[in-house]
């Protein structure tokens, strides 16, 4: 308990929702990007002092959702998942632009930029500010997450059941004596836990200071898309997507003046200012030829464009921006929630967390209908010569960069589904006196056990919204101590047998049973 004296200070810096928090554990393997993989889940309870201490002592991995229950927050994070990033140079850039972030190293050597406030602000304002800053720093792309991930959380029972919860951030100083997630000073050196607490006092800002934070807008032309402005300010190095950057420059130039001599001269001029080194004449001519072929839109999905984007809605308002019909809603990292037997998906979009079934995510029309229920307008992505299937490209990008999360306890979830559905199955299904009649979607029982066909159970579950395969149903029944039988009362019909649950009321016969607890019922 050596961290007990400093616990209140640590808690205050990372105070989040009072209703739940995140847990994770390493899986001992890395993904294709070299990032260590974790199993994540949500604890539906208030975090205790013991939970905080176990994190600092290295006994657990704890994550906090920054949004309070009133949809405000006092801290936020820009999570940059670039594992080859030069920490020292990036910290230098942060200080040059006078951003009061405390940088800390993630376990996979990425970079988290944390902003601490003395007072709460609406989560919506925090997100907007961090997105603008991430864009200014050139990291607002698919490798970066913004926390809080939503504008608000709604803890009504209906939303709770749908798992519409906030996303948690793994806290620094797990195992504070020997941390891998630790803050860094301006030289990129690791800070001890106690030094971090002192450092936080230096960089924490007031509410007024927060709203006064400005991005670097020197020489920015308000009518132009933000990405081109950032290309000019930050420049684009070789290997960072110079051709993609210059394509967007070409589209801008053509929007300003469709005269070929004008826009080609503008492209040549900006090539010298933006690209390091400048594209050679052959490469530049190829870009200009492509721009001149058709009235293309901007390539917003490229890595270099996304890293500098401050939001399609803002770009759509600019004279030479993407245009209102091209604007996509702001979308965060897709989350796959692994539930049994089928997963569902959480899509952070427009500051909201929308739950989707796989079919709704796969089909653009169904996605649009679902989003409309959340007051979000989805403008369909339409095929073009440049991109014959833009929705698939958008979806592939989401899937490639998704985050996997385990639901609260998959085993417990299966037990709960079985408990409620099995009782309802026995209540609603026809009960027959003669065993050989179970072939016709009926069940048979006496005072102790119930017997039924697998297809009868599958049909019932399908009507309940669980389209399980024969394999799924078989596994489910076995897990809950149901057995298979081939013979009963001289009949050779293959069927399943289980102990009759207590308090099962058969609607068709109006018979109420009171039996001992069964394996699928709560203790």
Average pLDDT over residues 78-88: 85
pLDDT above 70 covers what percent of the chain? 85
In this prediction, residue 352 carries a pLDDT of 80
pLDDT in tens, 431-472: 888 888 888 788 988 878 889 999 898 888 887 777 777 877
Average pLDDT over residues 85-89: 88
d(CA 167, CA 403): 11
| Higher per-residue confidence, 314 vs 225 | 225
In this prediction, residue 439 carries a pLDDT of 80
In this prediction, residue 501 carries a pLDDT of 65
Q: Within a 10 A sphere around the Cβ of 342, how many other Cβ atoms?
A: 12
Top mean pLDDT of 166-175, 305-314, 325-334 is at 166-175
Q: What DSSP string describes 277-345? A: SPPPHHHHHHHHHHHHHS-----TTSHHHHHT---HHHHHTSTTSS-GGGPPPPB---EEEE-SSS-EE
DSSP class of residue 435?
G
Q: Which residue has the tokens 């797990």?
A: 174
Average pLDDT over residues 242-263: 90
d(CA 293, CA 287): 10
Q: Largest alpha-carbon pair distance within the chain?
A: 93
d(CA 345, CA 197): 37
**What SS3 state is found at 368?**
helix
In this prediction, residue 37 carries a pLDDT of 74
Given pLDDT bands bounded at 50, 70 and 90, which one contains residue 34? low
Number of H helices, E strands in the chain: 19, 21
Order the strands of the 21-30 sheet from edge to edge: 36-43, 21-30, 61-64, 169-170
| Higher per-residue confidence, 174 vs 407 | 174
385, 378 in Cβ contact below 8 A? no
| Higher per-residue confidence, 336 vs 447 | 336
* Joined tokens for residue 157: 């029972």
Top mean pLDDT of 107-121, 389-403, 480-494 is at 107-121
d(CA 458, CA 25): 35
pLDDT in tens, 3-18: 888 999 999 999 998 8
280, 287 in Cβ contact below 8 A? no
Backbone angles phi, psi at 349, to 5 degrees: -145, 130
Q: Within a 10 A sphere around the Cβ of 215, how many other Cβ atoms?
A: 17
361, 345 in Cβ contact below 8 A? yes
DSSP class of residue 386?
S
In this prediction, residue 474 carries a pLDDT of 84
CA end-to-end span of the chain, whole Å?
34
Establish whether the linkage from the previous residue to 161 is cis, with ω within 30° of 0: no
In this prediction, residue 259 carries a pLDDT of 86
| Higher per-residue confidence, 79 vs 325 | 79
Average pLDDT over residues 473-494: 82
Top mean pLDDT of 76-90, 319-333, 475-489 is at 76-90
410, 418 in Cβ contact below 8 A? no
Q: Which helix (H) or strand (E) holds 27?
A: strand 21-30
pLDDT in tens, 369-381: 999 888 888 878 7
In this prediction, residue 386 carries a pLDDT of 56
Q: Which residue has the tokens 């050597």?
A: 109
**What SS3 state is found at 116?**
strand
Give me the domains of the chain, ranges plus CATH numbers. 4-212 (3.90.920), 226-326 (no CATH), 335-406 (no CATH), 410-512 (no CATH)
DSSP class of residue 205?
B
Instruction: Indicate if the pLDDT at residue 385 is higher than 70.
Output: no
DSSP class of residue 501?
P
**C-alpha distances out from residue 255 to 261, 296, 319, 514, Å:** 13, 10, 9, 77
Backbone angles phi, psi at 248, to 5 degrees: -65, -35
* Joined tokens for residue 255: 């929007």
pLDDT in tens, 122-168: 998 999 899 888 878 888 766 788 999 888 776 554 444 344 557 88
Cross-strand partners of 161: none
d(CA 409, CA 415): 10
* Joined tokens for residue 189: 């050196």
**C-alpha distances out from residue 276 to 5, 94, 97, 238, 250, Å:** 52, 22, 22, 6, 17
| Residue whose C-alpha is closest to residue 450's, from 472, 435, 470 | 435
* Joined tokens for residue 420: 């409620």
In this prediction, residue 97 carries a pLDDT of 87
Q: Which helix (H) or strand (E) holds 247?
A: helix 242-256
d(CA 18, CA 251): 48
In this prediction, residue 473 carries a pLDDT of 81
For residue 185, count CB atoms less than 10 angstroms from its CB and return exposed for 0-12, middle for 13-18, buried for 19 or more. middle
Q: What is the pTM of this model?
A: 0.56
d(CA 241, CA 255): 22
Top mean pLDDT of 43-52, 300-309, 397-406 is at 43-52
149, 353 in Cβ contact below 8 A? yes
113, 80 in Cβ contact below 8 A? yes
In this prediction, residue 476 carries a pLDDT of 76
Average pLDDT over residues 413-425: 69
In this prediction, residue 409 carries a pLDDT of 47
Instruction: Indicate if the pLDDT at residue 518 is higher than 60.
Output: no
pLDDT above 90 covers what percent of the chain? 29
DSSP class of residue 39?
E
Instruction: Indicate if the pLDDT at residue 217 is higher than 70.
Output: no
Given pLDDT bands bounded at 50, 70 and 90, which one contains residue 419? low
């Amino acid at each position: 308990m050596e961290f007990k004296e400093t616990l209140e200070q640590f808690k205050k810096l990372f105070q989040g929702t009072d209703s739940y928090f995140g847990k994770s554990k390493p899986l001992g393997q890395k993904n294709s990007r070299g990032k260590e993989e974790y199993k994540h889940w949500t604890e539906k309870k208030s975090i205790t002092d013991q939970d905080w201490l176990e994190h600092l002592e290295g006994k657990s991995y704890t994550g906090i959702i920054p949004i309070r229950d009133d949809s405000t927050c006092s801290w936020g994070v820009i999570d940059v998942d670039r594992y080859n990033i030069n920490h020292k140079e990036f910290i230098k850039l942060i200080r040059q632009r006078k951003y009061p972030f405390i940088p800390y190293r993630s376990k996979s050597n990425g970079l988290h930029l944390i902003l601490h406030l003395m007072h709460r602000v609406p989560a919506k304002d925090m997100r907007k500010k961090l997105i603008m800053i991430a864009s200014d720093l050139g990291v607002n792309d698919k490798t970066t997450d913004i926390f809080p991930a939503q504008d608000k959380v709604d803890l009504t029972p209906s939303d709770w059941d749908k798992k519409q919860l906030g996303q948690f951030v793994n806290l620094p100083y797990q195992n504070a004596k020997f941390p891998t997630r630790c803050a860094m000073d301006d030289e990129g050196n690791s800070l001890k836990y106690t030094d971090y607490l002192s450092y936080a006092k230096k960089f924490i800002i007031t509410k007024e200071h927060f709203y006064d934070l400005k991005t670097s807008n020197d020489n920015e032309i308000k009518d132009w898309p933000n990405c081109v402005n950032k290309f000019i300010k930050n420049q684009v190095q070789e290997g960072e997507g110079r051709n993609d950057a210059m394509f967007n420059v070409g589209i801008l130039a053509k929007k300003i003046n469709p005269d070929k001599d004008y826009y080609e001269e503008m492209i040549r001029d900006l090539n010298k200012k933006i690209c390091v080194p400048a594209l050679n004449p052959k490469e530049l001519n190829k870009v200009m030829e492509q721009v001149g072929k058709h009235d293309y839109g901007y390539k917003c999905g490229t890595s270099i464009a996304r890293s500098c984007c401050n939001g399609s809605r803002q770009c759509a308002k600019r004279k030479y921006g993407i245009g209102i019909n091209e604007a996509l809603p702001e979308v965060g990292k897709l989350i796959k929630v692994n539930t049994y037997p089928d997963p569902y998906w959480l899509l952070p979009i427009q500051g909201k967390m929308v739950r989707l079934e796989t079919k709704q995510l796969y089909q653009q029309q169904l996605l649009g209908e679902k989003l409309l229920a959340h007051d979000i307008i989805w403008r369909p992505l339409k095929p073009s010569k440049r991109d014959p299937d833009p929705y698939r490209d958008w979806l592939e990008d989401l899937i490639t960069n998704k985050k996997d999360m385990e639901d609260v306890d998959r085993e417990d979830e299966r037990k709960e589904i079985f408990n409620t559905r099995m009782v309802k199955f026995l209540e609603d299904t026809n009960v027959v006196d003669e065993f050989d009649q179970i072939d016709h979607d009926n069940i048979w029982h006496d005072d102790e056990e119930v017997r039924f066909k697998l297809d009868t159970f599958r049909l019932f579950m399908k009507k309940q919204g669980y389209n399980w395969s024969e394999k799924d149903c078989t596994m489910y029944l076995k897990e809950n101590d149901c057995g298979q039988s081939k013979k009963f009362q001289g009949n050779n019909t293959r069927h399943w047998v289980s102990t009759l649950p207590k308090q099962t009321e058969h609607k068709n016969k109006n018979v109420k049973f009171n039996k001992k607890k069964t394996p699928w019922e709560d203790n």
